[in-house]
Amino acid sequence: MLAFIWGENTLRTFNRGRHKRLFGFLIFVGIVLAIAGCATQPRPETYDPPGFFSGLLHGFLILFSFIGSWFWDVRIYAFPNSGGWYDFGYLIGASMFLGGGGASSH
């Protein structure tokens, strides 16, 4: 139907331009991911970095830490930390305090 209205050459040109944009976007995303894959975080230089339970507590206290950071030199996220477990605890603690995703469903 569209070929009848616009003509066959118009559709080919439209699809070719669309494929070029998609290909360019995929190349851009590939380059960004390749560059981001080279980024590293420095290893913690502490004896016992904060872990899961510290992350849980820091996530639960996120609002108070944020308000305190306006007046004093308080950080809402501990660095250096133990990595993924700290992040997971922080996510769970912040979700518990801020209500999680299902609190507003009813």
3-state secondary structure string across 7-38: CHHHHHHHHHHHHHHHHHHHHHHHHHHHHHHC
Residue range(s) defining the domain that contains residue 93: 52-98
How many domains does the structure of the chain reveal?
2
In sequence order, what are the residues at sequence separation of 6 or more whose Cβ sits closer than 8 angstroms to the Cβ of residue 43?
A: 80
- The pTM (predicted TM-score) of the whole model is 0.54
Each of the 106 residues of the chain gets a pLDDT tens digit; together they read 445 555 555 545 556 667 788 888 999 999 998 888 777 766 667 788 888 999 899 889 888 888 888 988 888 888 888 788 888 999 998 888 887 666 555 5
Whether 106 maps to a domain, the answer reads no
58 in the same domain as 93 = yes
